[in-house]
Structure 1
Amino acid sequence: MKSIIRFIPLILFILLGVLLYRGLFLNPQSMPSAMIGKPLPEFALPSLTASEQMLGRDDLQGDIVLLNVWATWCIQCKYEHPYLLNIAQDPRIKLYGLNFTDDRNAALQWLKQYKDPYVLSIFDEQGALGLDIGVFGAPETFVIDHTGIIRKRFAGPINDMVWKKEFLPLIEQIETEMAQGAS
């Protein structure tokens, strides 16, 4: 019995090593989302730029929407911001911001300093909408189709390569569905 007890730390060490080794090969961008294929939840949150203006799910429907989760405390958000400025020029999509658990004044200063790529920004000070759609952190970007269904969740910053590989094929697919009258 004593000899078995001596091997318990070794066995635990080997199991921990196997788990850590497996983790090296996981892709953090491929985190699953329970919201894929479901409608964007109902919400009522203020606009970042006009606190008296309440925004809801209906404000994000009718077009192909990219909902970009960002915050001033997010280092990767600063990296992806120039790419968002370019994406905002694409007439096929509407880029909306979800300012996640941030300070309103800091966020407004950020948009003034780095330019505002968003059609509008939702101010989610408490993170309620973020939690409802399964946000783990910032930046994250959701593709919402013309019917209000969440089609994709991407965790991490967007750049040219990510845009072309992860987003453009889906946008083209949704455009085809829209042209065929799919609802």
Structure 2
Amino acid sequence: MSMDREHSAAETGRRVLAFLPLTVAAALAIVLAWGLTQDPGSLPSALIGKVVPDFDLPPVQGRSLGLSSDDLKGEVSLVNVFASWCVACREEHPLFMKLAAQGTVPLHGLNYKDQPDDAAQWLDNLGDPYTRTGADISGHVAIDWGVYGVPETFVVDGDGLIAYKHIGPVNEEVLAETILPLVESLRQRTADREMREAGP
């Protein structure tokens, strides 16, 4: 009897081992399939809901206003991480020029790992949509923001909290359906809070 049990247990163990690779492969396929359905432009960031990192950047050459964490408090704003060498940044730039002309929301630029002359020339040639533009020549500030590459665009609420991060070039659809509605929602939330704090 014990020989039969040992043989049966050994047979069961072999069957489990035989199906293990198939089970692992199926689980991996499910995870990969799920990943393909996700929007790569809105990857989660560990900084969502957190205060922007403390920083103080000088202006891009030829500009008078740099960018600091203090500049991102008091009103909802966008921060666009860009570089003159970034092809995708050139793709989204006309949309940001249009947004700046409309005056819908303050747009600040964080110039990432650029040569001072190149950044200035890029803004001179293509137009400067930014209210303030900080020169992050070393790239340390962008790293503190969790930047993976350029372009990346952040929505920052009036308290200086990061509310949203978009990876890659912003297009009309992302701006109209995600970013601007969020800006409006954050503004409304601030107004509601201020009204409650003011009392009757």
TM range (shorter): 0.7 to 0.9
Partner of 2:166: 154
Q: What letter is aligned with 1:109?
A: Q
CA–CA separation in structure 1 for the residues paired with 2:180 and 2:65: 32
Partner of 1:121: 133
Partner of 1:78: 90
Q: Please give the secondary structure, in 2, of the residue aligned with 1:166.
A: helix
Residue-pair matches, total: 178
TM-score by length of 1: 0.84
For structure 1, which segment, 109-118 or 159-168, has the greater mean C-alpha deviation from structure 2 after superposition? 159-168
Taking only the aligned residue pairs, the percentage that are identical comes to 38
CA deviations on 1:96-154 (whole Å, 9 max, x unpaired) are 00001111111110001001000111111111111111111111100111111111111
CA–CA separation in structure 2 for the residues paired with 1:160 and 1:115: 19
On the 8 A contact 2:61/2:120 being kept in 1, the answer is yes
For structure 2, the residue ranges without an aligned partner over 5 or more in a row are 1-17
How is 1:2-41 mapped onto 2 (pairs within 5 angstroms)?
A: 18=29, 23-41=35-53
Q: Please give the secondary structure, in 2, of the residue aligned with 1:118.
A: coil
Q: Does 1:90 align with 2:102?
A: yes
TM-score by length of 2: 0.77
Q: Please give the secondary structure, in 2, of the residue aligned with 1:122.
A: strand
Partner of 1:66: 78
Residue 25 of structure 1 deviates from its aligned partner by: 3.0
Which of the two has greater strand per residue? 1
For structure 1, which segment, 19-28 or 105-114, has the greater mean C-alpha deviation from structure 2 after superposition? 19-28
Q: Please give the secondary structure, in 1, of the residue aligned with 2:106.
A: strand
Residue 54 of structure 1 deviates from its aligned partner by: 5.9
CA deviations on 1:42-101 (whole Å, 9 max, x unpaired) are 112211135897642112221211000101121110010000001112334111000011
For structure 1, the residue ranges without an aligned partner over 5 or more in a row are 1-6
Residue 20 of structure 1 deviates from its aligned partner by: 5.4
Q: 1:93 to 1:54 in 2, by over 3 A?
A: closer
RMSD, matched Cα: 2.8
For structure 1, which segment, 51-60 or 154-163, has the greater mean C-alpha deviation from structure 2 after superposition? 51-60
Q: Please give the secondary structure, in 2, of the residue aligned with 1:93.
A: coil
> Given the alignment, which residue of 188, 195, 199 partners 1:176?
188
Residue 179 of structure 1 deviates from its aligned partner by: 2.1
Q: Give 1 or 2 for the bigger CA radius of gyration.
A: 2
Q: Does 1:166 align with 2:183?
A: no
